[in-house]
Amino acid sequence: MAKLVALIFLAVCILGVDSLVCQLGYNVTVGDHCYKIQYIEHGLEKADAKERCAKENAILPSIHSEEDNADLLAARDLQCLNCFAFLGIACTEEGKLGWGDGSPLDYTHFWPGSFLPSCDPKTFETTDDFIFTDKGYWRDFADGSSVGALICQQVNQDYGCGDFDEVDDQCYKVFGNKRMQFNDAENYCQEIGGHLASLHDDKTSDFIRRSAVSQGVVEPIFIGLERMASGDFEWTDGSKPDYINFASSDGSCAVLHTESTLGFWTAEACDVPKPFVCERKNGTGYDNVNYEV
């Protein structure tokens, strides 16, 4: 009987929201979102979880009501009974708590007595990772620990670029008021559903340069190109490096020089904090989100 109830629930999840178009494999709908839930045999750390979701134009889950929390718990248990999974609690540009999709933290279900999240003023990341537990509570989790389930939330296609700027169906935003090391900047971009920007033509490179200058950012900014152990450069989003504008490439992490109209690049030290530019696919932004929580 319990198995029958579970199957009925899954059918409701799959068919219950007519207006949603879920991509292949995202066969669970809860609220206004499509989800893919997987059992991870050997465990998964948060950085890997974010990366797996990002490759499918998805993010770690956001939850906005008691009903959605209960439904997602039931769907999770069908795939991996009582397994922990990472949540998408993140820090906004203003250093406030929110969700990685840009939506506000308007509902919470923290484990009684657990540490509440806060934002690190240097990295703009949460001071703790947070997980969806076996009972549906949310609680802090030791950094570097792994979980047994992966929940990816498909990014809805209704929101355009939100507060990002659109160029050729891609969305870009220069974060001129933040300074992060390369890896921290890439992590931040992943938290909001993207990567450090990959540049594939003069048009995009010049647009980003002008966007930075319009904010008063007249200095090098990190883009998503980094040197691998092989010595070759690769974009963090996995796209092919088919356009290069290096003036010099002695370092390991590429920056775009906004102070020159040529917008040339150099490769510099990865651990020196700089402004940066994020890129995400069109359809991953929330318009007019109130980030205050």
Task: Give me the phi and psi of 202, to 5 degrees please.
Answer: -60, -35
Q: How many domains does the chain have?
A: 2
In this predicted structure, which of 127-136, 174-183, 256-265 has the lowest mean pLDDT?
127-136
For 259-288, the pLDDT digits (tens) are 988 899 999 999 999 999 999 887 654 433
Question: Which of these three, 154, 174, 192, is where a domain ends?
Answer: 154
**Radius of gyration (C-alpha) of the chain in whole angstroms:** 20
Same domain membership, residue 207 and residue 136:
no
Quote the pLDDT of residue 160.
67
Contact criterion met (CB below 8 Å) for 227 and 188: no
The confidence score (pLDDT) of residue 148 equals 92
Closest C-alpha among 251, 252, 248, 207 to residue 228:
252
Q: Residue 37 maps to which CATH number?
A: 3.10.100.10
Statement: residue 44 has pLDDT above 50: yes
- Helix or strand (DSSP H, E) at 248: strand 246-248
CA 141 to chain centroid, in Å, comes to 19
**List of residues 6+ apart from 27 with CB closer than 8 A:** 13, 14, 34, 36
My answer on whether 17 and 74 are in the same domain is yes
Range of the domain at 207: 165-281
Q: Is the pLDDT of residue 5 over 60?
A: no
* pLDDT tens column, 45-54: 988 998 899 8
Structure tokens of 217?
A: 């950012």
This prediction has a pTM of 0.59
Residue 46's contacts (CB-CB under 8 Å, 6 or more residues apart) are: 86, 129, 143
pLDDT per residue over 221-253, tens digit each?
Answer: 999 999 999 999 999 998 889 998 999 888 999
Average pLDDT over residues 132-153: 88
Q: Kindly state whether residues 197 and 265 are assigned to the same domain.
A: yes
